[in-house]
Amino acid sequence: RRRAALLLRPSTASLRCTRQASSLAAALKEHAPIDVHPEVQEALAHGQPVVALETTIITHGMPYPANLETARSVESNVRKVGAIPATIGLIEGRVKIGLEPHELERLADVRKNTSVVKLSRRDIGPAIALKRDGGTTCSATLIFSALAGIKVFSTGGLGGVHRGAETTMDISADLHELTRCPVGLVSAGVKSILDIGRTLEYLETLGVPVVSYGPTDDFPAFYSRHSGFKSPWRIEDPVSAARILHAQKQFGLSNGALFAVPIPEAYEAVGQELQRAVEQAVLESEANGMSRRGKEATPWLLRRVGELTAGKSLASNIALIENTALVGGQIAVAYSQLAK
Ligand code: PSU
Ligand code: MN
């Protein structure tokens, strides 16, 4: 509480981000269990670039120790381009905006820490009340980013409409969250296990801009640079991304934006092969009932694709996340310059 109280002091820096500080201030007034890392707090108070990072990919998306190494390299990529990383997670029922190294290790070491939960919006209240550890999905990470006033969030793949959702109704809470949080989410598209066409339709209905970031307007499919679908918008540089976020802020729009960054070229060939494993894993999940097991579906599919490809999916997964971290950092830097 002491740390965040600093934000409330009326300095020129805190006046500049009064609106951001106010929702955090309101939470703190309620004694909400939230700790903003001093480095992140300092950056936010001075309008410096910050990039949020999620933790479900660490706790439920990748095996140990690759998950921990990736979490560290992603943070270091954000720093390389001049921004401050804020990895978000839940430790014993306290929301952490920026994890200490030992906290990151604690969440990542899924051999020891077996009860860490996957946190979507619906899980936040219960997990805090029961003092659990948790990895935040895109939805929960968007919520805490918006609360703290962080404008950019980098990850691997956004959740979306699952295949067969017309019967299972499995649609990730990530999509709705993008209507409530004015944050730019940078990802390599949506997970390839999804129904990409329906996910894009749903985002259109929700009013969330989908923007390809790169040389074509192809909407990327995580492991591959192409999904067969097009994005309605395309940009090629961080300043354009920052301008989109800025325009939405000027008009008080509550929604964020999805910036879809294709996986680096070098991984395109293996991407085709991975996609075949994805198709097989999805069929298996329909046959064995995993596709009807709610939040367990995604982690099961990712693990199965890893098995089927002898770990090749992991290398691609790491490469694409490291890449979105760089782009997210650049967008955050551009935004901080616009907002000055
Ligand atoms: N994509 C991945 N690995 C992951 C996820 C996405 O390659 O671990 C996680 C993200 O945190 C995303 C979540 O927000 O899965 C979506 O889960 P669900 O489909 O259950 O909403
Ligand atoms: Mn789901």
Asked if residue 28 has pLDDT above 80, the reply is: yes
- Among this protein's residues, is 307 annotated catalytic? no
Asked if residue 19 has pLDDT above 70, the reply is: no
Query: Before 220, cis peptide (omega within 30)?
Result: no
Using pLDDT thresholds of 50, 70 and 90, give the confidence band for residue 16: very low
Q: Which of 56, 116, 300 to mutate to test the pocket of ligand 1 (most atoms within 8 A of CB)?
A: 56
- Whether 319 contacts 270, CB under 8 Å: no
* ipTM over 0.90 threshold: yes
What number of other Cβ atoms are within 10 A of residue 288's Cβ? 12
56 CA → ligand 1 middle, Å:
7
Taken in order 287, 123, 177, 257, the sign of the CA dihedral is negative
Q: What is the pLDDT of residue 14?
A: 43
Angle (nearest 5°) at CA 195 between 192 and 197: 110
Q: Which of 163, 191, 303, 320 to mutate to test the pocket of ligand 1 (most atoms within 8 A of CB)?
A: 191
- Ligand with minimal distance to 168 CA: 2
- Give 139-167 pLDDT, tens digit per residue: 999 999 999 999 999 999 999 999 999 99
Asked if residue 79 has pLDDT above 60, the reply is: yes
193 CA → ligand 2 middle, Å:
12
- Tell me which of 78 and 21 has the higher pLDDT: 78
Q: Helix (H, G, I), strand (E, B), or coil: what is residue 305?
A: helix
What's the predicted TM-score (pTM) here?
0.94
Q: Please give the number of the atom of ligand 1 that sits closest to the Cα of 172.
A: 21
Q: Please give the number of the atom of ligand 1 that sits closest to the Cα of 317.
A: 7
**Ion ligand 2 — residues with CB under 5 Å?**
170
Q: Please give the number of the atom of ligand 1 that sits closest to the Cα of 136.
A: 11
Q: Exposure string (b/e) for 179-202, b if CB count within 10 Å is 16 or more?
A: bbbbbbbbbbbbbbbbbbebbbeb
Mean pLDDT throughout 295-317?
93
Distance CA 178, CA 235 (A): 19
Amino acid at 150: I
Question: Integer distance in angstroms from the first to the last C-alpha of the chain?
Answer: 28
Q: What is the pLDDT of residue 152?
A: 98
Q: What is the pLDDT of residue 181?
A: 98
Cβ contacts of 214 within 8 Å, gap of 6 or more: 234, 236, 261, 262
Using pLDDT thresholds of 50, 70 and 90, give the confidence band for residue 20: low
Using pLDDT thresholds of 50, 70 and 90, give the confidence band for residue 113: confident
- Among this protein's residues, is 54 annotated catalytic? yes
- Tell me which of 340 and 223 has the higher pLDDT: 223
Q: Nearest CA to 215 among 260, 175, 249?
A: 260
Using pLDDT thresholds of 50, 70 and 90, give the confidence band for residue 9: very low
Cβ contacts of 173 within 8 Å, gap of 6 or more: 120, 121, 122, 137, 139, 159
Mean pLDDT throughout 264-276?
94
